[in-house]
């Protein structure tokens, strides 16, 4: 089964570390990153989809995706 997560955050090193951590845990980049201006906070925000193949585990909507 392939599971999907969308990571988002302010355009800073913390966001880069979040994506890097996901990659180190076996997640793979899916598509291009997104980038947009948040008019309320007056800051740029980033987003990146990641996917991961998990075997021998049924999908459980109550389970956190990071626990797969």
pLDDT in tens, 22-38: 999 999 999 999 999 99
Give Cβ neighbours of residue 64 (< 8 Å, ≥ 6 apart): none
Rounded to two decimals, the pTM is 0.84
Give Cβ neighbours of residue 41 (< 8 Å, ≥ 6 apart): 10
Give Cβ neighbours of residue 61 (< 8 Å, ≥ 6 apart): none
Q: Say yes or no to pLDDT of 68 above 90.
A: no
pLDDT of residue 57: 87
């Amino acid at each position: 089964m392939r599971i999907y997560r969308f990571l988002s955050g302010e355009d800073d090193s913390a966001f880069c570390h979040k994506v890097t951590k996901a990659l180190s845990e076996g997640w793979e980049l899916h598509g291009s990153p997104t980038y947009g201006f948040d008019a309320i906070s007056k800051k740029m925000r980033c987003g990146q989809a990641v996917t991961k193949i998990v075997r021998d585990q049924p999908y459980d909507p109550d389970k956190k995706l990071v626990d797969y």
